[in-house]
Chains A and B, each alone.
Chain A
Amino acid sequence: MEATLPLLILVLPLLMFLFLGLFGKYLSHKWSGIIGTLGMGVTMVIAYYTAYTYFFSGDFVDAAGNRLQYVVFDQQWLSLWGDLSINLGFLLDPISALMLVVVTTISFMVHLYSNGYMRDHHGVYETGFQRFYAFLSLFSFSMLGLVVATNIFQMYIFWELVGASSYLLIGFYYTKPSAVSASKKAFIVTRFADLGFLIGILVLSYCTETFNFMSMTSSSVGEGLYHVDVTSAEGVKTMIESRAGQMFLGGSIMTWALVLIFMGGMGKSAMMPLHIWLPDAMEGPTPVSALIHAATMVVAGVYLVARLFPLFMVNELAGGAALDIVTVVGALTAAYAAIVACTQVDIKRVLAFSTISQIAFMMVSLGVSRGDVGENLGYMASMFHLFTHAMFKALLFLGAGALIHAVSSNDYTAMHGLRKHMPITHITFLIGCLAIAGIIPFSGFFSKDEILASCFGNSMVAYVWMSLVAGLTAFYMFRLYYLIFWWKEHKVHEGHHAPKDQPWTMTLPLIILGVVAIFCGLVPFSEMVTWNGHPHHAHINWTVASVSLAVSIVAIGIATLMYRKENSLPAKMRSLFPRLWQGAHHRFYFDELYMFITHKIIFNSICKPIAWFDRHIIDGTMDAFAAITNKASYAIRGLQSGNAQSYVWVYLLGALVLGGGTVAIIFLFF
């Protein structure tokens, strides 16, 4: 494949960013929206073409039918230590092709949708409309650069860039203090995680003597073509030779490297305990939440683990605990987020916690992926869920955006009973809810079933745990659905418009994503995306599927009972478990804990004393030198009075003493 088209996928959004960023203010709002959307559309078409070529042209499959990794180009950017250098390149393999499709699709939908969303009811554009599109393009560029990274440092580079563009977009309404602090929080929390990521990269690159994914995990089978193969990969060999197995604080150095890298993933993917930024990030405009904080950026952590999955496997085989840690973190987060989601009032926060929970599903799925369970079924399931989740979660967020735009509030208390006013939104939102609840034949069913099946194959505890969380998912989504579209209707006040469906730029993406969310479960994923490119046929495990279906339906039933019509059941439930409800409502006090750590401990007990120490001790010492010199000179300046008479006195006395002394000495000794 020529390098031109893939290169364009990266260059187009970057150019859009520079163009809209530098010259946006000379364009009209309308045109900058159109240009941004068109640019993204073209990128999407190219990405589709690239992915299509990769999957279906047959050029990237070896004789045994394995899909190969293909390096389109790989340019040295900064050479570092010996052979270590940071390259910028473009890697095509099943997961990057998948991500290209996901990112460009959602990004295009969001670009289109924002044309409608970023205006008020009278069609007046928001201030900073061009800036918004510029940032969206920047984000798309960074995200695409991240997914096609050929080496871990390129990934880190774009990882930071998506963080920054996320910062810019969350803080889009920069005059709102809550948005400003949310963006700050998002950046700093993920930055903290990136510290782990960075150190992990350093350790890993020390062990494998390369940054390059292909050198780490694959062996070359031709011009630019690589086959994922941990037994013959250079990086793995070097790693084994380089004493990476040496123990350090209870884990091998290899395990430490992978866990630290996973820490980076935890930050971006909002795994507990680094999840606190994601709910706050909902301060950004809703399309941004759909794009960044639901579909693409937050799954970067999953993508990272998937990208390094061969190394995790090697670690697992060597007895390391990295994958188990992934599983445990994922499982805890999934349950935590699902419980919290049941008690939130702000619909975007419900969706945010649902996102956290679903990403945790993907993490668990990677964590339980083993060679002996359906040829690493978990890996495939995770990527599959990533794909379907991106679609239905973007749909849900865009739907939520339409609702928020219509009623100008984020809380479901302001909505209730909107099904008649906004039919398109209603239907598509319902599709999204059904998909996430895992009802057959919606897309979520297929991917979630694969996840549960691989959990089932791995351990019973994981399976039961995750099934219950899946049930909770269905419950809180339908709670949300009923509270928005059913429950009691608000009366339309005089002089106010009734909420209604939004313009076509907003409904069209909803409809498209709705259709996709229904059908994308039918993609034969196991034949396209597997960890080593070896296609296999995954069958629906009907035992698991029927159990999970039953759980979901029961959960939906409970939600229907409680929330379809106004009744006192929810209040009763709440009073049954007051502590639990309070805790969940306050997100189990994680934010308070962090506030305590950052403000009380770091800010007040580290920063302030250091600043004080600097001003008073260190600087005080320096000033003390100066003061002592000053004092001393004041003390002796009386000697230089300028009074000739006193000089003469001193002179005479001195002369007398000297003369007398000399005479005395002469008399005494000679």
Chain B
Amino acid sequence: MLDLLNNFQLNSLMFLIPSLFMFCCGVYGFLTRRNMIAMLISLELMLNSVDMNFVVFNRFLCPGEMEGMFFTLFAIAIAAAETAVAIAIIINAYRIAKDIDVKDLTKMKF
């Protein structure tokens, strides 16, 4: 057991598999949920899993470089901004329609 622990090598798969799991959760949530907040959360899940992938690949494939890290930082910043905008839109939509179910928000369609 200790041996196992001593020989423990950080393996990219160890990160990638949870990341994939996270991504799939995100996709599933995005596809099945009708509540916009829930959809947003799912979207964030997908984004985060992608961010994780960036970091992992950076770390394992080209350890000396920093691009993946930076890209992740950027993505997190942008995701934050985007979430802010999305929340703002959702709140406004709620104010107008008293509802945040995407099936019901069809007023703007022709």
Contact = CB atoms under 8 A, between A and B. Distances in A.
Asked if A and B touch directly (CB within 8 angstroms), the answer is: yes
Interface of A: 641-645, 648-649, 652
Contact of A643 (B27, B102, B108): B102
Contacts of B30: 644-645, 648
Nearest to A637: B110
Interface string B14-54: 00000000000001001100000001000000000000000
A643 B108 CA distance: 12
A648 B27 contact: yes
Interface residues on B, range: under 10
Contacts of B39: 644-645
A642 B102 CA distance: 10
Contacts of A645: 30-31, 39, 102
14 contacts: A641-B109, A642-B106, A642-B108, A642-B109, A643-B102, A644-B30, A644-B102, A645-B31, A645-B39, A645-B102, A648-B27, A648-B30, A648-B31, A649-B31
A642 to B, nearest CB: 6
A263 to B, nearest CB: 64
Contacts of B109: 641-642
A157 B31 CA distance: 84
B28 to A, nearest CB: 11
Contacts of A652: 27, 31
B72 to A, nearest CB: 23
Contacts of A649: 31
Nearest to B108: A642
Contacts of A643: 102
Nearest to B34: A645
A649 B102 CA distance: 15
**Interchain residue pairs A-B with the least CB separation, the first 3:** A645-B31, A642-B109, A648-B31
Nearest to A645: B31
A65 to B, nearest CB: 96
Interface in B56-71: none
A119 to B, nearest CB: 72
Nearest to A640: B109
A36 B33 CA distance: 96
Contacts of A648: 27, 30-31
A657 B20 CA distance: 20
A649 B109 CA distance: 20
A630 to B, nearest CB: 13
Contacts of A641: 109
Contacts of B27: 648, 652
Contacts of A642: 106, 108-109
A374 to B, nearest CB: 93
B29 to A, nearest CB: 10
Nearest to A652: B27
Nearest to A641: B109
A440 B109 CA distance: 100
A641 B27 CA distance: 19
Nearest to A642: B109
A293 B108 CA distance: 75
B97 to A, nearest CB: 15
Interface in B94-110: 102, 106, 108-109
A155 to B, nearest CB: 67
A643 B31 CA distance: 10
B75 to A, nearest CB: 19
A297 B39 CA distance: 93
Nearest to B103: A643
A651 to B, nearest CB: 10
Nearest to A646: B31
Contacts of B102: 643-645
Nearest to B109: A642
A641 B106 CA distance: 10
Contacts of B31: 645, 648-649, 652
B15 to A, nearest CB: 23
A533 to B, nearest CB: 87
A605 to B, nearest CB: 47
Contacts of B106: 642
B37 to A, nearest CB: 14
B11 to A, nearest CB: 25
Contacts of B108: 642
Nearest to A643: B102
Contacts of A644: 30, 39, 102
B24 to A, nearest CB: 11
A645 B109 CA distance: 16
A616 to B, nearest CB: 31
A653 to B, nearest CB: 11
B102 to A, nearest CB: 7
Nearest to B33: A645
A652 B31 CA distance: 10
A641 B110 CA distance: 10
B82 to A, nearest CB: 14
B36 to A, nearest CB: 10
Given A648-B31, A649-B31, 5 more contacts: A642-B109, A643-B102, A644-B30, A645-B30, A652-B31
A648 B108 CA distance: 20
Nearest to B110: A637
A556 B98 CA distance: 107
B100 to A, nearest CB: 14
A643 B106 CA distance: 9
A150 B30 CA distance: 95
A638 to B, nearest CB: 11
Most buried by A among B31, B39, B106: B31
A99 to B, nearest CB: 76
A398 B21 CA distance: 115
A294 B31 CA distance: 96
